[in-house]
């Protein structure tokens, strides 16, 4: 019978991502209650062996250039192969673009139910329950899945990444055969970003600017230096993106990225319901807005009523002076 938890561990430049440790640590505590082992699957070439120190007893690997990302749906076959080997009851992955592409195909292929973008996983009366935001986080649903193996994608930063527990994993290479659909598509190019930054969805610290920033030059002058001083990633409101002050991939909100950082600084952002949709689960929210009635203040942990053209440079200076972000 299916038992235990299989964690899809994503990596970057050969090293497991933070989300891999977050999920392994959650998997360990769930497995302690549900029973069974924790195993990991690593797709593409990465250093997988150290995952044993974080609780994985077996690390399944699928190495090959076609697995560099899930642009073509190739991950579903690799994951299906890992599931045959590990026979888990639960499969966890981060709610990343690759998992969002792969899990639905995998769910159909193996007849599994799936819950997306979960922010909590817990056991109630012996059953695993996933709590997930719906209606852009205006409501939360507790979801249960009845199939013998169940897929959960988890919003990054939902769980702390635990320290290593010691232990070692057996590395077990998978043999993967591709479906016809996967062979019908191919990644033919990768365009690198202008600057290397952490993915907004995985960022722990974010500084976002709104429409009043007023130009891309001002984003470079006010928002980006503050982010850099704090070691944060830059975001923007839709109004700022649509005006051309910041690129699409920096938009936070309902039609942009959903972020879940420890700290979200909203600089001259009104706090429209569609913006809140993308950042309301941030642990600490700082609002800088010159209108004391701005809705963002109702969600802010700390608020400064003031002009970003004055406050942001001062914050940047102060962060540098206090040696933050170093």
Partner 1 sequence: MKVGVCIKRVPGSDSRINVGDDAQGPDLADVGWEVNPYDSFALEEALQLQESGAASDVVVFTVCGPEGDAKIRDALAIGKRGKCGASKAVRLDDPAFAGSDAIGVARILAAAVKKEGIDMVIAGKQSIDGDSAQVPAMMAEILGWPSVCEVTDLEVDGSAIKAWRAAGSGKREVVALSLPCVITADKGLNTPRYPTLPGIMAAKRKPIEVVDAGALGLDTSTVGASAALVTVAKWSPPPARPQGRILEGDASAVVAELITLLRDEAKVL
Ligand X SMILES: Cc1cc2nc3c(=O)[nH]c(=O)nc-3n(C[C@H](O)[C@H](O)[C@H](O)COP(=O)(O)OP(=O)(O)OC[C@H]3O[C@@H](n4cnc5c(N)ncnc54)[C@H](O)[C@@H]3O)c2cc1C
Give residues in contact with ligand X (CB under 6 A): 210-212, 237-240, 251-256, 268-270, 272, 274-275, 278, 288-291, 294, 307-309
Distance CA 3, CA 34 (A): 8
Contact 72, 101 (CB under 8 A): no
**Closer residue to partner 1 in complex, CB, 166/326:** 326
211 binds, among partner 1, ligand X, none (CB under 5 to 8 A by kind): ligand X
By CB under 8 A, what part of segment 145-174 binds partner 1? 145-147, 150
Binding mask 197-226 for partner 1 (x = CB under 8 A): xxx-----x---------------------
Contact flag: residue 256 with partner 1 (CB under 8 A):
yes
CA distances from 80 to 39, 58, 70 (A): 14, 16, 14
73 binds, among ligand X, partner 1, none (CB under 5 to 8 A by kind): partner 1
115 binds, among ligand X, partner 1, none (CB under 5 to 8 A by kind): partner 1
CB of 90 to partner 1, least distance (A): 14
Q: What are phi and psi of 307, to 5 degrees?
A: -90, 125
Q: What is the token pair recorded at 281? A: 């689960």
**Closer residue to partner 1 in complex, CB, 62/229:** 229
Least Cα distance to 166 among 52, 309, 300, 4 occurs for 52
Contact 232, 207 (CB under 8 A): yes
CB of 98 to ligand X, least distance (A): 22
**Closer residue to partner 1 in complex, CB, 168/283:** 283
Degrees to nearest 5, angle at CA 204 with 12 and 39: 50
Distance CA 174, CA 85 (A): 8
278 binds, among ligand X, partner 1, none (CB under 5 to 8 A by kind): ligand X
**Closer residue to ligand X in complex, CB, 2/272:** 272
Distance CA 138, CA 135 (A): 5
């Amino acid at each position: 019978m299916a038992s235990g938890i299989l964690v899809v561990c994503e990596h970057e430049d050969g090293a497991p991502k933070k989300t891999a440790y977050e999920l392994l640590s959650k998997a360990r505590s769930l497995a302690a209650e549900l029973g069974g082992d924790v195993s990991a699957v690593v797709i593409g070439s990465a250093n997988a062996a150290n995952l044993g120190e974080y609780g994985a007893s077996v690390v399944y690997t699928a190495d090959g250039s076609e697995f560099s990302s899930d642009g073509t749906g190739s991950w579903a076959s690799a994951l299906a192969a890992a599931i045959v080997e590990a026979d888990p009851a639960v499969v966890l992955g981060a709610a990343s673009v690759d998992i969002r592409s792969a899990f639905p195909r995998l769910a159909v292929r193996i007849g599994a139910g799936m819950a997306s973008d979960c922010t909590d996983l817990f056991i109630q009366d012996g059953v695993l329950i996933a709590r997930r935001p719906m209606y852009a986080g205006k409501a939360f649903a507790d979801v249960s899945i009845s199939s013998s193996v169940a897929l959960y994608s988890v919003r990054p930063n939902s769980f702390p990444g635990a320290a290593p527990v010691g232990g070692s994993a057996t590395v077990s290479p998978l043999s993967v055969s591709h479906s016809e659909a996967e062979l019908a598509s191919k990644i033919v190019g990768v365009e690198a970003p202008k600057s290397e930054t952490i993915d907004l969805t995985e960022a722990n610290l974010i500084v976002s600017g709104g429409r009043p920033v007023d130009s891309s030059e001002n984003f470079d002058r006010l928002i980006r230096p503050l982010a850099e001083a704090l070691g944060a990633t830059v975001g923007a409101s839709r109004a700022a993106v649509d005006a051309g002050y910041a690129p699409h991939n920096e938009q936070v909100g309902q039609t942009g990225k959903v972020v879940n950082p420890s700290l979200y600084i909203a600089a001259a952002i009104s706090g429209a319901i569609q913006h809140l949709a993308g950042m309301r689960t941030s642990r600490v929210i700082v609002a800088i807005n010159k209108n004391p009635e701005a809705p963002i203040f109702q969600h802010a942990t700390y608020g400064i009523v003031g002009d970003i053209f004055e406050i942001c440079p001062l914050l940047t200076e102060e962060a540098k002076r206090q040696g933050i972000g170093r």
